[in-house]
Amino acid sequence: MKIARIALDVPLPRLFDYACPPELDVATGSRVIVPFGKRRLVGVVVEMSDQSEVDAGRIKPVECVLADAPPLPPDWLDLMRFLSGYYQRPLGETVIAALPPRIRSLKPLPRADRTLWRATPGADPLKLRAGRRRRLLETLIARGPLDEDALLDADAAARSAERTALRALAAAGAIETTQAVSGTGFEPGHALTETQGVALARILRDGTGFGTFLLHGVTGSGKTEIYFHLVADALARGRQALVLVPEIGLTPQLEARFRGAFPDTVVSVLHSGLEETARTSGWLRAASGEAGLVLGTRLAVLAPLPRLGLVIVDEEHDSSFKQQEGLRYSGRDAAVFRARQADAPVVLGTATPSLESYANALAGRYALVELPERASPGAQLPVVRALDLRNEPAEHGLAATLVNAIEARLARGEQSLVFINRRGYAPVLACGACGWTAGCTRCSARLVFHATDRRLRCHHCGLEAPLPRACPSCGNVDLSPMGRGTQRVEEALAGRFPAARLVRIDRDTARRKSLSDTLEEIRSGGADILVGTQLIAKGHDFPKLTLVGVLNADSALVSTDYRAGERLFATLMQVAGRAGRRETRGEVLIQTRYPGHPLYAALARHDYAGFAKTQLAEREAAGFPPFLFEAALRAESRELAEAMAFLRAAAQLVEAPDGVRVYDPVPHVIVRRANMERAQLLVQSAARPPLQGFLRAWSEALFEYAPLHARNVRWHLDVDPIEFD
């Protein structure tokens, strides 16, 4: 009897055996429907076997094979096996987690619809009243032709209203449909500069086979333009290009640039913010090979891509490429694996390489390709200066030099950006009489005061509370906010520059749609001063922005996390990169109590290489990655003692081989989050193979031990962990 071993969407860490009736064509990679208890489930056949450990009498047959999507190909299953083995998650769970929910549900899949909407020539949005129809028409003029998945909102209710608006626009003759054709037409934005040309030639010279390139280009050096040429090359070869970005939902402008450069290519956009049908059709277009360009966040690396011929990871240093739950994979590392599988080049682009990638480049494992200058004619890197807060007092947190610099920009009609990486009004609400501070009842953390709606919020678990009228501990009615966040900085700037148009951008102001509108407004000059968190730092291009002020950066300099410096440098390079991207040279002013700090000095010299080499030397001396490899076992429970006891027992389960060191468990810095107390233990090794061998045996033992002896503990392994909060 033929047995299919099937991954199912159920919380059990194993595959399930089913019999294959001879009349069904069941094979590895088939999507099938099987009976499970009283339910029917969709699963994926991961392996075929001649025997089963389950009693023949208890094995149920596969009910049917689904044919509405291509079967999952062998190289995709290899990728799943690799991820499952490397990150120590059960294969079935890995397979299920990699598929969009709809693909593993009984709901029928959307039919491949090749209808696109486009604006009819001459259609004028200004003739429409402001609103849904006008917005849709504007989008189609800027980005069209688009299919409905790409055009419509992620929210189901908004979608149906938008469909009605589309029908009205079509009836009025403002838009029309057209059928998608797939071509490889390419419309480059600019003729490449000499430096860009050399970099491109360097990457193309190595041919079409596997090779990893670290494209280190300063902000504004025109990396995107190089990506376009690489994608064009892959399309011309008849292959698919996969482009991974940290947060595509926040950067519709990037999507628009790609669609503009490849007007007749089928583009599939994949990220978790998409509405279900849109995500499913995007995935189907990638998996069928129909999409020439697949543009998405880390999860796009998990889509089947039968014609893959190029992989690009933009902002490769960004920590959002690492998944922080379930299968804790690195999208960047998975991208390199896929490129090797497909025998295709992979390009990791960034202005501030991760130290892992930079070390790989220095060691010759990655080819280093550099773009040291800005591409736009006359554009120079900004002047970076530290403002010494020890000598220069700050009023409302703003140094006089910064205030004067903003004033000068206002006078010239230029834009300024004030960057502070903390949202809300003040991170602490305190009682001056007794020292009480507002804390979260579910976390060992303080509540952040939000002034706009006068509420307290926990940034760790989301808890909200009204502002207390008086100190709950002593009754004092005079509670004071301490420290500052974006709202308070906005208030101070509004007080100082009452006539200026202020725009605040952080997670509180930015729902997806409105953020892209806000960004467009800034680009077209509809704002004078921007206040924002790192949401505003990533990748945006504001032509009139010539000044960046940085507040409160110092805390990272004194952090106990050895990665804090690397992250701060990357963030500041990014924000600094927003300034002076055209002819007018930009200026960056950093408020600090450590003006002589080597990190700021390197930043002022735009010296990534110098900074990275110092950091690498420190990491090597201290024994940190990338000079050794790490995994963390994390545990959480209602009681810290339980989590700690579990970790201590776990450490005894399997003896670590030579060269693998298992540390003692330690509580997290913020030990309680959402009423769970957390601890972890770290495992280190100078080489991967012994670590991987140990993790395999350990993980197997943990999956056996935990359900019997640690029922109240939630635990997971994190391989190559990056966050320790």
**Interface with ligand ADP by CB under 6 A: which residues?**
189-193, 196, 217, 219-225, 375-376, 541
Do the beta carbons of residue 345 and residue 382 sit within 8 Å? no
Q: Minimum distance between the CB of residue 191 and ligand ADP, rounded to whole angstroms?
A: 6
In terms of CB distance, is 225 or 491 closer to ligand ADP?
Answer: 225
Residue 349: count other Cβ atoms within 10 Å of its Cβ: 26
Residue 671 as a binder of Zn ion (CB under 5 A): the answer is no
Residue 624 as a binder of Zn ion (CB under 5 A): the answer is no
Instruction: Choose the one of ligand ADP, Zn ion, none that binds residue 192, judging by a C-beta under 5 to 8 angstroms depending on kind.
Output: ligand ADP
In terms of CB distance, is 222 or 485 closer to ligand ADP?
Answer: 222
Residue 328 as a binder of Zn ion (CB under 5 A): the answer is no
In terms of CB distance, is 132 or 457 closer to Zn ion?
Answer: 457
Binding residue for Zn ion, selected from 307, 442, 455, 501, defined by CB under 5 A:
442
Spatial distance between the Cα atoms of 676 and 277, rounded to a whole number of angstroms: 35
In terms of CB distance, is 537 or 635 closer to ligand ADP?
Answer: 537
In terms of CB distance, is 80 or 312 closer to ligand ADP?
Answer: 312
Instruction: Choose the one of ligand ADP, Zn ion, none that binds residue 196, judging by a C-beta under 5 to 8 angstroms depending on kind.
Output: ligand ADP
Where in 126-185 is the site for Zn ion (CB under 5 A)?
Answer: none
Instruction: Choose the one of Zn ion, ligand ADP, none that binds residue 440, judging by a C-beta under 5 to 8 angstroms depending on kind.
Output: Zn ion
In terms of CB distance, is 195 or 684 closer to ligand ADP?
Answer: 195
In terms of CB distance, is 430 or 503 closer to Zn ion?
Answer: 430
Do the beta carbons of residue 630 and residue 682 sit within 8 Å? yes
The region of 104-112, 217-225, 330-338, 451-459 touching Zn ion under the rule CB under 5 A is 451-459
Q: Minimum distance between the CB of residue 396 and Zn ion, rounded to whole angstroms?
A: 25
363 Rama class: left (phi>0) / alpha (psi -120 to 50) / beta: alpha
**Closest Cα to residue 291, out of 446, 184, 135, 138?**
184
Residue 358: count other Cβ atoms within 10 Å of its Cβ: 25
In terms of CB distance, is 263 or 689 closer to ligand ADP?
Answer: 263
Spatial distance between the Cα atoms of 228 and 360, rounded to a whole number of angstroms: 25
**Closest Cα to residue 698, out of 637, 640, 643, 649?**
649
Do the beta carbons of residue 678 and residue 635 sit within 8 Å? yes
Residue 258: count other Cβ atoms within 10 Å of its Cβ: 21
Q: Minimum distance between the CB of residue 227 and ligand ADP, rounded to whole angstroms?
A: 8
First-to-last CA distance in the chain?
51
Using alpha carbons only, give the angle 279, 280, 285 rounded to the nearest 5 degrees: 100
Residue 675 as a binder of Zn ion (CB under 5 A): the answer is no
Q: Minimum distance between the CB of residue 609 and Zn ion, rounded to whole angstroms?
A: 41
In terms of CB distance, is 64 or 671 closer to Zn ion?
Answer: 671
In terms of CB distance, is 434 or 686 closer to Zn ion?
Answer: 434
Where in 459-498 is the site for Zn ion (CB under 5 A)?
Answer: 460-461, 463, 471, 473-474, 476
Q: Minimum distance between the CB of residue 349 and ligand ADP, rounded to whole angstroms?
A: 7
Q: What are the residues facing 17 on neighbouring strands?
A: 5
Cα-to-chain-centroid distance, residue 328 = 13
Using alpha carbons only, give the angle 143, 146, 151 rounded to the nearest 5 degrees: 85
Where in 37-56 is the site for Zn ion (CB under 5 A)?
Answer: none
Q: What are the residues facing 8 on neighbouring strands?
A: 43
Burial 383-405 (b: 16+ CB within 10 A, else e): ebbbbebeeeebeebbbebbbeb
Q: Minimum distance between the CB of residue 192 and ligand ADP, rounded to whole angstroms?
A: 5
Task: Tally helices (H) and strands (E) across the chain.
Answer: 19, 32
In terms of CB distance, is 74 or 462 closer to Zn ion?
Answer: 462
Where in 411-440 is the site for Zn ion (CB under 5 A)?
Answer: 431, 433-434, 436, 440
Size of the site for Zn ion (CB under 5 A): 15
Q: Minimum distance between the CB of residue 450 and Zn ion, rounded to whole angstroms?
A: 14
**Closest Cα to residue 305, out of 275, 349, 326, 335?**
335
Spatial distance between the Cα atoms of 679 and 215, rounded to a whole number of angstroms: 38
Q: Minimum distance between the CB of residue 125 and ligand ADP, rounded to whole angstroms?
A: 25
Spatial distance between the Cα atoms of 177 and 185, rounded to a whole number of angstroms: 20
Q: Minimum distance between the CB of residue 441 and Zn ion, rounded to whole angstroms?
A: 8
Spatial distance between the Cα atoms of 126 and 6, rounded to a whole number of angstroms: 56
Q: Minimum distance between the CB of residue 494 and ligand ADP, rounded to whole angstroms?
A: 30
Q: Minimum distance between the CB of residue 551 and ligand ADP, rounded to whole angstroms?
A: 24
**Closest Cα to residue 192, out of 228, 219, 216?**
228
* Total number of residues shown for the chain: 725
Instruction: Choose the one of Zn ion, ligand ADP, none that binds residue 496, judging by a C-beta under 5 to 8 angstroms depending on kind.
Output: none
Residue 458 as a binder of Zn ion (CB under 5 A): the answer is yes
Sites of contact with Zn ion (CB under 5 A): 431, 433-434, 436, 440, 442-443, 458, 460-461, 463, 471, 473-474, 476
